[in-house]
């Protein structure tokens, strides 16, 4: 069984999309751990409801040691780390041990509206301000940079003239809930071939 750890920082709707995809048979894998970087978030309640091991590693308490603590918990126990609305930056040995085995979902079409400080509603506000006609989401591998890893797949949505940031965010979120399980499925079935900066999907 392909095993994953899901890292969260908020409500966990992307976590729920993974859980739903497992329960409806789309994904042949299991969530071994749900780990948050703050206490008392709803994503942990979602995990609890589905009897998934969960814990909060408070970034305010652990500081620079946060990634090392995550590694201690999951090393040798999972095949893939999934960042599902996780806002802390992973560092150090965790990145080395899980090279090309950590993925993230970002609410924009990278390389647009990404990098330091670009998360949550801020991304959609910038897209609206810039006047783009197409927005979307990106699933990518995590490397030492911020949103700089190899792109696995992207989903696009039209930006309407009447959109505000919240409306755009909700439409992009629908695509996030499709894209993240799809990327996990491709990886779990060994259907991603990395060639330089490109991730080729094998049919």
Annotated binding-site ranges: 12-14, 60, 104
**CB–CB of 164/4 below 8 Å?**
no
Binding-site members for (6R)-10-formyltetrahydrofolate are 60, 104
Is the previous residue joined to 111 through a cis bond, with omega within 30 degrees of 0?
yes
Q: Cα separation of 77 and 5, whole Å?
A: 9
Kindly calculate the radius of gyration of the chain based on its CA atoms and give it in whole angstroms.
16
Catalytic residue list: 106
Three-state secondary structure call for residue 6: strand
Using CB atoms within 10 Å of the CB of residue 160, give its burial: 0 to 12 exposed, 13 to 18 middle, 19+ buried.
exposed
């Amino acid at each position: 069984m392909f095993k994953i750890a899901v890292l969260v920082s908020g409500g966990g709707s992307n976590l729920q999309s993974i859980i739903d995809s497992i329960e409806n048979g789309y994904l042949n894998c299991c969530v071994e751990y749900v780990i948050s970087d703050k206490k008392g978030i709803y994503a942990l309640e979602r995990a609890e409801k589905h009897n998934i091991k969960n814990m909060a590693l408070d970034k305010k308490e652990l500081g620079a040691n946060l990634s090392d603590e995550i590694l201690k918990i999951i090393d040798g126990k999972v095949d893939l780390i999934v960042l599902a609305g996780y806002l802390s930056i992973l560092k150090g040995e965790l990145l080395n041990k899980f090279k090309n085995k950590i993925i993230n979902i970002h609410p924009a079409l990278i390389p647009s509206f990404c990098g330091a400080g670009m998360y949550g509603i801020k991304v959609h506000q910038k897209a609206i301000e810039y006047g783009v006609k197409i927005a979307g989401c990106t699933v990518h591998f995590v490397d030492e940079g911020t949103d700089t890893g190899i792109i696995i797949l992207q989903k696009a949505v039209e930006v309407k003239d009447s959109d505000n940031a919240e409306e755009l965010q909700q439409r992009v979120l629908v695509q996030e809930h499709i894209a993240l399980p799809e990327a996990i499925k491709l990886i779990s079935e060994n259907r991603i071939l990395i060639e330089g900066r490109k991730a080729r999907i094998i049919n």
